[in-house]
Amino acid sequence: MTTANVEVRSEENTVEIRLTGEIDLSNSDSVREKIFGAINNYLIAVKIDLSGLDYIDSAGLRVLFALAERLRLLQTAYTVVAPVGTPTRRVLEMSGMSAVAQVKP
């Protein structure tokens, strides 16, 4: 089983979530629960930092897109950080993540 770490930092009405390790089918449900558990109705911005993520597959992408939908309904800004040139960034670009979130280097 692969390992993913979810680190949550809250500050007033914003949340930054740092994901490290690998996200795949074996742990995506757990990652989703941790991320969604950090989201409340009073946030104005959520930032997901993937700079420490080594691997993400379609199950991990589904988590990020499900979060985008939830945040859209809550009218909350959504930013995903993934360094340019990394495999994670390429996966995000191919998936069309920039259509539902602001993707930053």
**Token pair recorded at residue 59:** 């199950």
Task: Give the domain CATH number at 69.
Answer: 3.30.750.24
Buried b (16+ CB within 10 A) or exposed e, 62-96: ebbbebbeebeeeebebebbbeeeeebbebbeebe
- pLDDT tens-place string over residues 12-45: 899 999 999 999 999 999 999 999 999 999 999 9
Nearest C-alpha neighbor of 51 from the set 5, 12, 97: 5
Tokens 């009073």, located at residue: 42
61 three-class SS: helix
Enter the pTM of the model: 0.95
Determine the structural domain holding residue 42 and report its residue range: 4-104
Listed in sequence order, the DSSP H helices in 1-105 are: 28-37, 58-74, 87-95
pLDDT tens string 52-88: 999 999 999 999 999 999 999 999 999 999 999 999 9
Number of domains in the chain: 1
Residue 45 is classified by DSSP as E
